[in-house]
């Protein structure tokens, strides 16, 4: 398989399960896939990156922390993995743990199956 340098996916829908009340929050962002990494970029209303998570691939998981700077920078640690085609035909389901300022969330998002061709030889999800 030939690996490509990078691919950006716009308008990716994220769902965050809210602890203890059975509801979830929705966010829309961008995911960049490049060899050995997956970057999650969720912007606030003025277009500034609010969450910028650079996930490094290791042991079948991507893990990273929020890299944004500014007056309010949420402290986030995230870990996620590809769980295959669970919900949408032709889309890979990602499920992970999102720890923000001490509160744990489960989060999900979906990408086309072709994303793996951008991971390179540094990881296969």
For 21, the 3-state DSSP assignment is coil
- On whether residue 1 sits in a domain, the answer given is no
Question: Which residue has better confidence, 76 or 123?
Answer: 76
Arithmetic mean of pLDDT, 25-50: 91
pLDDT band at 3 (very low <50, low <70, confident <90, very high): low
User: What does the pLDDT read at residue 40?
Assistant: 97
Contact in structure between 30 and 8 (CB atoms under 8 Å): yes
For residue 121, is pLDDT > 80? no
Residue 16 lies in a domain: yes
Looking at the domain assignment, is residue 2 inside a domain?
no
19-29: average pLDDT: 87
pLDDT in tens, 61-89: 999 999 998 777 889 999 999 988 876 66
pTM of the model: 0.86
Of the candidates 95, 76, 75, the residue with the CA atom closest to the CA atom of residue 84: 95
- Domain housing 40: 7-122
Q: How far is CA 73 from CA 20, 45, 81, 113, in A?
A: 24, 15, 24, 32
CATH of the domain at 42: 2.40.128
> How many domains, in total, are found in the chain?
1
């Amino acid at each position: 398989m030939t690996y490509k340098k990078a691919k950006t996916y716009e308008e990716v829908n994220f769902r965050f399960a809210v602890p203890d009340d059975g509801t979830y929050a929705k966010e829309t962002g961008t995911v960049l896939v490049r060899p050995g990494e997956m970057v999650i970029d969720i912007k606030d209303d003025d277009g500034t990156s609010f969450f910028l998570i650079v996930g490094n691939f290791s042991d079948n998981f991507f893990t990273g922390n929020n890299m944004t700077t500014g007056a309010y920078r949420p402290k986030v640690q995230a870990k996620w993995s590809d769980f295959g085609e669970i919900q949408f035909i032709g889309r890979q389901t990602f499920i992970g743990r999102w720890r923000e300022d001490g509160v744990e969330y489960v989060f999900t998002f979906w990408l086309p199956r072709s994303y793996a061709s951008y991971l390179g030889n540094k990881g296969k999800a």
